[in-house]
Every structure is written in structure tokens, then in C-alpha cells.
Chains A and B, each alone.
Chain A
Amino acid sequence: MDFAIQRCCVTPMYLKSYDSSTDAVLRALGIGFVDIKGFNCCGYPLKDIDLKAFVLASARNLCLAEKSDLNVMTFCNCCYESLKEANHLLREDESIKRGINEKLMKEDLKYGGSTKVRHLLEVLYNDVGLEALKEKVTMPFKGLKIAVHYGCHILRPRQLVQFDDPGTAKVFDQLVQITGAEIVPWEAQLDCCGAPVWGIDDDLSMDLTQKKIRDARQSGADFICVACAYCQLQFDRVQRMLLSKRGEDKGLPSILFTQLLGLSLGVDSKALGIDQNELDAMGIKHFLSSEESPIQLSVV
């Protein structure tokens, strides 16, 4: 079944490569997706301001997807958690649902609750499956060390998102291993990237990012790998500002999982937008081996 794809508000302006690399990977894997024209913001940035406004924004997308009889797939953790939270609130809280339906009625939309919210990683792991993915990897990486950054909202709140166990999460690690890359254990793995306070308290935001970067570097990683638009902007664009502001000479480039996977699937790096990363990530191509080599799958 096709998915209605929820794109993140930050991508058209600041992170086009996430759109293009996701599209390329989904096509390469034969996963069908539809861009519903009327989709709006998931409501995440409005959570601070007005809970009802946030739920309304999410609900509208859920209703639009429901109207097309599709499930929603996101590639951003914040969109993922927000849509799930709204979906949950609408199912559990009759008064919220009534209020929202009154507002959406004008557009001939009604929340019924049949739409499921899925993260791209979830779709790859559960629907496509590791074995099938492995078969499609034609250019596995060799000797590439990756610090996997899950991001907060794909794991927490656990009861709500139910993606993986926050303490011993392994889904993302296994997906990265499929590409032939090695994963490095690092202490700060499950900490926040700092993006939510960027623009509010930049010093705090940079402190958090810096701590993560340093830890990942010390663990021997060549790249950080993320699957969230906000995390990527934080580790890429904001890290660039951080490096010049704080005089750090060495950073650690971050790569989107769709870019990483895309390369190993043999997708053209131009389509993956790797040259658009603000911290040079082109070096990752040196780790690609063109020969097929068997990948040892180990559970971390």
C-alpha cells in the first residue's frame, strides 16, 4: 500500500536533500508514496503555544490521509511524535475530537481515526525487512564508522510512540549495519541534539550539540547518522555556526540515513543531495566498495 508522505516544514527551504534522498530511496526500494497537496505542518512548533492549535494541524493531515485511505509516513522524528500524539489525543479525548471535527467540517473533513502514523525507519525495518534490504545493497560501505543518533521523539515518550525500547534501542543500528557501516557505541547517543532551543537559547543549544559531537568523535565515529530533519539541521547547519563561533577546528559531519542507505543502494549521490550538506560529507563516498561483500548482521 502507498503512504501519504508527511514532509517536514524545514525541508523545502533548508534541507532539500532530505526530500530528494527520501524520494530516491523510496523509489529504489519500490515503496509507493503520495504527496497529498493539502498537507500542512504537523503542528510540532505550535506545541509550546497552544495544544489545540497543534492538534488541529496534525488532525487535518490525518483526516486528509484518511480521506485518501492512506497511512502517513514521516521522515522527521518531531513530525512522527506530533502526529502520533495528536492521533492518540483524538482517539482518547472525545471533547478534543468534537472541537477539532467542528473546525474541520468547513473543509469537509472528519476525523475517524483509521490512519496510522509510521516513521520511515519503521517502514524499512518492519515492512521491507532487513533481509530484503540487504539484498538490495549493491555497494556496501567498508570501514565506515557511524555514530547512530536516534533522536528523542522516535523513542520518547515510549508509551506513545512505541517504536523501540529507549534504553536498548537497536532498530536504527541494524538498519545502519545493513549498509555495511560499522556502528560505534557512544555514551551521549540518546541525548537531545539541542535543536528545540536553537533560536531561544543558542548557548545552551550549542552546549548540548558540542557535547554530543565530542563524544561521538572520541568514540571513533567518522559520521553521525540521523533520521530527523531537526537533528540534521542541528548537526549540520548549526554545527557549522558552532564551529566558527566557538573556535572548534574539528567537527563531525552528519549524514541523513536516507543518504547513507541511498549510496549503498547505488543511488546517484547527486539525487541524494550529499553535496548540499553544509559540512562536507562527500568524503563518505571513499568508504564505498563496489564489490558485493557479505554483510555480517549482528545485534547490538
Chain B
Amino acid sequence: MFFSICLYTALSIFLLGLFWKISTWFRYSVGPGSREIKTSKRLFAAIKGSILTILSPKVLTLLKVFVLDVLFQRRIFIESRLRWLMHMCIYGGFMLLLLMHALEHFITITLFPDYASTLNPFLFLRTLFGLIVMLGLGISFYRRHILKIPRLINNAMDHYMVIILAVIMISGFLLEGTKIVSHTRYQEMVEDWSDVDDEESFEALESYWVEKFGVVSPDLEGPFDEETLDLGKELHETNCEACHSRPQWAFISYGVAKIVSPLAVSMDKADVHTILWSLHFLACFVGLAYLPFSRMFHIIAGPLSLLANSVMDRKRSDRANIATRQVMEMDACTHCGACSLHCSVGVLFEQMQNVNILPSEKMASVKRFTANRTAKEGDIKHIQEGLYLCTNCCKCTLVCPVGINLQDLWFDMRETFIQDGHPEVFTLSTLSFYRGLRKDELNEKDYEKPLQQASQALAEECGLFDSVDTPIDLGSLDESFEKDLRTSAQGSTFSFCFTCTTCTSACPVALNYDDPPNVLGLTPHQIMRATAIGLPDLIFRSKMLWTCLGCYQCQEACPQGVRVTDILYALKNMAIRRVKEKT
């Protein structure tokens, strides 16, 4: 009764969770454009797309991906052999246990009519599969806690599922071990299955089981005489052998049995094996109920992500389906950290202390944000900054074991954030080159908006000299600013400048305009001069600073050896630091 209630409760939570999770694939949206697509439209598009794909030659691609990437996990194999071994052990071992052991009444008995869980090869295989899972869990622990893989961050979710799995496995071995030694269980079996009826036979059979099968009897203890054992053996062969292989085959549980045997009698009285039995099943049910809400959900979303990505293409696929796929992909993420390990800018995490630089953590943040759009202002800025600190090198997408197209996810998420009105001063850096390369995918207004916002935020922050007509207040000159620059060898060269304007004459940006000071705010030589005087506000808001190409024409031309370009870079760094600190 208790068992059934638990089972059906767990199953219901699992199914409801599954339904709820899958519904989010059609309800949540990632990119700015996907918000307008209705849930019903997305659902129909998904059904239509799936049917059309299955009926097309693309089905061969799906089949290939299913075998290579889903069943044999080629992508993990390429990424890391150790991880592949770990994953194969956990996934393979657990699947086999699930099919042969947990679903024995449905599957194993149908295939093998003579099946008994206490009979070989099943007895041995159960232990073997269990051992394989334990090996996998051991490797997982080793990777996460001993190997110290760079930038692999562990969160609570990573531990929960491993703990649940470990509890299932360990309780299983302990349960089997205590059953082997249990005298009560032995007696129940004799009553239920044997036709032994006289006192002498009882004693002989029990003696044989104590001697050979590890049962710990409160009444009998070895050594037994040959005759009793011979009779016991005979009785065993006629009554028990058909259903019972030697427990030594379950080598782990047998080891447990040997260890606990001094305590076996009292454990038996305290009914410890029932407690372990409950623990074993409860852990299974908790695992089942929790599955849709945990990262274990990747066993459903992962294969779907691999399959969908193998046949979908941003340019040709239905936009509604892309929107759905992108939400689904987030559920496929296992937080394995492969992306962060190979990330082209992952190392920046050491310098810039924003965890969202790392793709694996960015994913976790973006996932939270997509589920409830009410993140804190500070968090939003953090995520946005992390999203922008990306060189779009595609490495994360190439290594993702579940085939998530992270590249597109970042692109869409970045647009969602920077369009929603949080000025991002990083848009004025070379990182915008990548956004520019995908200009075709954005409309003109959306494209310009974040850039204008960033310039405006800069102008507001550096508003000291708002108008050209305002006289400069000498008290507002920033002396520390000049000192900051002097600390570096290249920065300090600004003091050699005698404002000869050679740099400006060499600057291709200045040369591009008829009236450079008007368009650019300041020209290069004016920036050098303003640096010497100590007018950071004037410099930071000038368009010249942010359109500097870094082509080094000015620096090469300078007769005084002023490292003009290097100074402009240093000034950009300072401006960005100032805006970031304030906002």
C-alpha cells in the first residue's frame, strides 16, 4: 500500500513535471523576435516540422545522429575520453539496471520465463551493472573535486542527482547484503518454497545455508559435521537450487554481508533490511519525481536537442521552431562545463570576476531569466556584460555534448538584453564587430539603439563640459587622472606632446570628415592636450575616442615619440571603468 502510494505519487509528479516542462518550450522565448510568436503557432509549427522531417530524406541524418551522438555519445568521446567513460558507465549501467532489475516484471520475465532475481546470470549482472554505475559516479566525483578542471564550477544541482543516484546504488548493495545474512528472510523462504518438514532436515538445510550462503543464524554456528552438510546439500538441491545461485556471485553485496555478519542477528531483529528496502525505493521515487526539474531532464531534452540541431538551420527553418528549439536547448544543458573549458575568453574570469563570462554559467543565468523575467537590476547588468564579453568564436557550440547552438542563443539573448534599455558601454568596443557581422539579421532601428544608448550614458556620466560655451572651471581639473596614466610606460609619453597636430593629420578618421572637431568632439592632438590638462570628461565623451581604429598611424607619425594610439586605448579603458563603476 505504502509502496503503491509512493510509486503513483512519484509517477504523477514526474508526468505533471514533464508536461509543464515541455509546455515551457512553447511558452518561453529567447530572442526579441520570438516573443511575438504565439504558443499555439509554435506548437503547430513543431508538429508540422517534425512530421515533414520524418517523411523527408533528413530522417537518415536523424538516424545517424541518434546512433552516433545519442546512443554512443560521439561528441563526449571527442571532448574527453574520461568523461565519455564516466557518462557511459552511469547512463549504460543505470539503463541496464532499470530494464533488467526495476522493470523485471515487465521486461526480464517476458524475455526469460525462468527469470529469478536470485539466479545467475541475473544475480551476477545486477552487481556488475551496479558496479559500473558506481564507477561512473566515482569518476564524476574525481573530475569535479580532485582533477580540478579549469573553470568547472559546481552548483547544488550538480550534486543533487549524483547524491540521489549514489543513495539508490549504495542502499541497493546494503539491502542485498543484509538480505543475504538475514535469518528471517531465510525462514520465510523455507516456509514459502520448500517441502522440508522434519526437525533434522530443517537443521541440515539451515546448516548448509549458514556454511555456504552466508546466512547468520541465531541458533546454529559452524563448524558443521560432514553428514549434516551432505544432507543439507541434498535438500538444497531439491528445494532451493532452481531459484538460488550462490550469493558470492553478487560479490559486492556478499562482501557487505561478510562485514555486517557479526551484527546480523541484531540487525535482523531491528528489521534493518526493511528500512533499507524503503530507502532504496524512496530514493528511486524521489529521483523519478525530481527528474523533470533537475538537470537529469537532459536525458529527454539532450537527445531532442542533438536531433533538432542536426536538421535545423537558422536561415531556412521556421522561426517559430527556432524559438521553441532555443528554449528546449536550455533544458538539455547538463552544466558539464565543456563550453567554459574551451571558451575563447573564459580566462577573463580570472581578471573580470563576472561569472557570466563563462558560457556554462551564462546558460544558468539566462535560463533563470527566461523562466521569470523579473531579475534584479544588478543581475541583469551582470548577465548583459557576460553576454557581451564574447568573441562569437563558436567553440562552445562546437564542443557542446548535447549539441546546443550556444552561438545563436548568445546572439539572441544579447539582443534581448541590450534592446531592453540597459546601456552597455561594451557596445563601443571592438566586440561589436561580431554584432555588425550579423547586421543582416537585425532591423536598422534595433541595430543602432544600443550604440546610441551607450554613447548617451557616457555623455551623461561625463557631463562636466556639456556646452562649448561654458568656461572650464579650473577647480574641476582632474589631477589623479593624469597620475593614473603616468603609471604606465606608454601612457606617460603624453607629456612629450607639443600639439604639433601631426597625429591628427595622419589619422584616417579625422581625414574622413570635412570638419573633424565638430563631428568627433576632439581630434587626436586635442585629446593629448586634454590629457595633459586633466579633462577626462571632455575626452571620454568625444566620438574620436570611440572611433579610434587602433591603426597606429598617429603613433608612427608623431615626431615626439608620443604613444598616441596606446594612450587612446588606455583612455578607453579608463572611461569604461568609470562608467562601469558608476552603473
- Chain B residues with CB under 8 Å of A207's CB are 512
CB of B253 within 8 Å of the partner chain: no
Shortest Cβ gap from A73 to chain B (Å): 18
Binds B, one of A25-33, A123-131, A194-202, A269-277: A194-202
CB of A291 within 8 Å of the partner chain: no
Over the window 258-270 of chain A, the binary record of Cβ atoms lying under 8 Å from chain B Cβ atoms (1 yes, 0 no) is 0000000000000
Closest Cβ neighbor of A13 among chain B residues: B394
Decide: B433 and A199 in contact? CB cutoff 8 A: yes
Over the window 205-221 of chain A, the binary record of Cβ atoms lying under 8 Å from chain B Cβ atoms (1 yes, 0 no) is 10110000000000000
A57 and B556 in contact, given A49-B429, A199-B435, A204-B509 (Cβ under 8 angstroms)? no
Decide: B407 and A157 in contact? CB cutoff 8 A: no
Decide: A45 and B391 in contact? CB cutoff 8 A: yes
**What CA separation (Å) do A51 and B440 show in the bound complex?**
31
A200 and B549 in contact, given A40-B346, A51-B570, A230-B433 (Cβ under 8 angstroms)? no
Decide: A199 and B508 in contact? CB cutoff 8 A: no
CB of A9 within 8 Å of the partner chain: yes
Decide: B489 and A237 in contact? CB cutoff 8 A: no
Binds A, one of B156-164, B291-299, B347-355: B347-355
Decide: A50 and B351 in contact? CB cutoff 8 A: yes
**What CA separation (Å) do A198 and B352 show in the bound complex?**
25
CB of A60 within 8 Å of the partner chain: yes
**What CA separation (Å) do A20 and B454 show in the bound complex?**
38
Over the window 429-462 of chain B, the binary record of Cβ atoms lying under 8 Å from chain A Cβ atoms (1 yes, 0 no) is 1111111110110000000000100000000000
Shortest Cβ gap from A10 to chain B (Å): 7
- Chain B residues with CB under 8 Å of A40's CB are 343-347
Decide: A93 and B489 in contact? CB cutoff 8 A: yes
**What CA separation (Å) do A204 and B348 show in the bound complex?**
30
CB of B384 within 8 Å of the partner chain: no
Shortest Cβ gap from B581 to chain A (Å): 13
**What CA separation (Å) do A107 and B547 show in the bound complex?**
36
- Chain B residues with CB under 8 Å of A98's CB are none
Shortest Cβ gap from B91 to chain A (Å): 25
A60 and B347 in contact, given A45-B430, A237-B437 (Cβ under 8 angstroms)? yes
Shortest Cβ gap from A278 to chain B (Å): 11
At the interface, is chain B mostly helix, strand, loop or mixed?
A: helix
Over the window 550-572 of chain B, the binary record of Cβ atoms lying under 8 Å from chain A Cβ atoms (1 yes, 0 no) is 11110110000001010001101
Q: How large is the interface on A (under 10, 10 to 19, 20 to 34, 35 or more residues)?
A: 35 or more
CB of A166 within 8 Å of the partner chain: yes
CB of A46 within 8 Å of the partner chain: yes
CB of A48 within 8 Å of the partner chain: yes
**What CA separation (Å) do A60 and B351 show in the bound complex?**
12
**What CA separation (Å) do A233 and B352 show in the bound complex?**
29
Decide: B393 and A13 in contact? CB cutoff 8 A: yes
Q: How large is the interface on B (under 10, 10 to 19, 20 to 34, 35 or more residues)?
A: 35 or more
CB of A135 within 8 Å of the partner chain: no
**What CA separation (Å) do A230 and B432 show in the bound complex?**
13
Cross-interface CB contact of A197 among B350, B549, B576, cutoff 8 Å: B549
Cross-interface CB contact of B551 among A48, A196, A200, A238, cutoff 8 Å: A196
Decide: B439 and A195 in contact? CB cutoff 8 A: no
CB of B150 within 8 Å of the partner chain: yes
Cross-interface CB contact of A157 among B389, B428, B451, B565, cutoff 8 Å: B565
Cross-interface CB contact of A204 among B393, B547, B550, B556, cutoff 8 Å: B547
Decide: B552 and A9 in contact? CB cutoff 8 A: no
- Chain B residues with CB under 8 Å of A52's CB are 351
- Chain B residues with CB under 8 Å of A9's CB are 344, 391-393
Closest Cβ neighbor of B148 among chain A residues: A106
Closest Cβ neighbor of B343 among chain A residues: A40
- Chain B residues with CB under 8 Å of A103's CB are 350-351
CB of B427 within 8 Å of the partner chain: yes
Decide: A233 and B552 in contact? CB cutoff 8 A: no
Shortest Cβ gap from A63 to chain B (Å): 11
CB of A132 within 8 Å of the partner chain: no
A241 and B433 in contact, given A192-B551, A196-B550 (Cβ under 8 angstroms)? no
**What CA separation (Å) do A103 and B429 show in the bound complex?**
24
CB of A12 within 8 Å of the partner chain: yes
Decide: A48 and B351 in contact? CB cutoff 8 A: no
Cross-interface CB contact of B429 among A45, A56, A152, cutoff 8 Å: A45
Over the window 387-402 of chain B, the binary record of Cβ atoms lying under 8 Å from chain A Cβ atoms (1 yes, 0 no) is 0010111110010000
Residues A215-231 near B (CB distance < 8 A): 230
CB of B122 within 8 Å of the partner chain: no
**What CA separation (Å) do A250 and B428 show in the bound complex?**
31
Over the window 86-119 of chain A, the binary record of Cβ atoms lying under 8 Å from chain B Cβ atoms (1 yes, 0 no) is 0000001100000000010011000000000000
Cross-interface CB contact of A45 among B395, B433, B555, cutoff 8 Å: B433
Decide: A10 and B393 in contact? CB cutoff 8 A: yes
Closest Cβ neighbor of A204 among chain B residues: B547
Residues B331-361 near A (CB distance < 8 A): 342-348, 350-352
Residues of A within 8 A of B (CB): 9-10, 12-14, 37-38, 40-41, 44-53, 56-57, 60, 92-93, 103, 106-107, 152-153, 156-158, 166, 191-192, 194-202, 204-205, 207-208, 230, 233, 237-238, 241
Q: Which 7 A-B pairs have the closest CB atoms?
A: A199-B436, A199-B432, A156-B552, A9-B393, A48-B429, A9-B391, A41-B344
Known contacts A48-B428, A192-B553, A237-B437, then 10 further A-B pairs from the complex at CB < 8 Å, ordered by chain A residue? A12-B394, A40-B345, A48-B573, A50-B351, A53-B351, A56-B350, A57-B347, A152-B549, A204-B547, A208-B549
Of the A-B pairs whose beta carbons lie under 8 Å apart in the complex, a sample of 23, sorted by A's number, is A12-B394, A45-B430, A45-B431, A48-B428, A48-B430, A48-B569, A49-B431, A49-B573, A50-B352, A53-B348, A92-B489, A103-B351, A152-B553, A153-B552, A156-B551, A156-B555, A157-B555, A192-B551, A195-B433, A200-B451, A205-B436, A207-B512, A238-B436
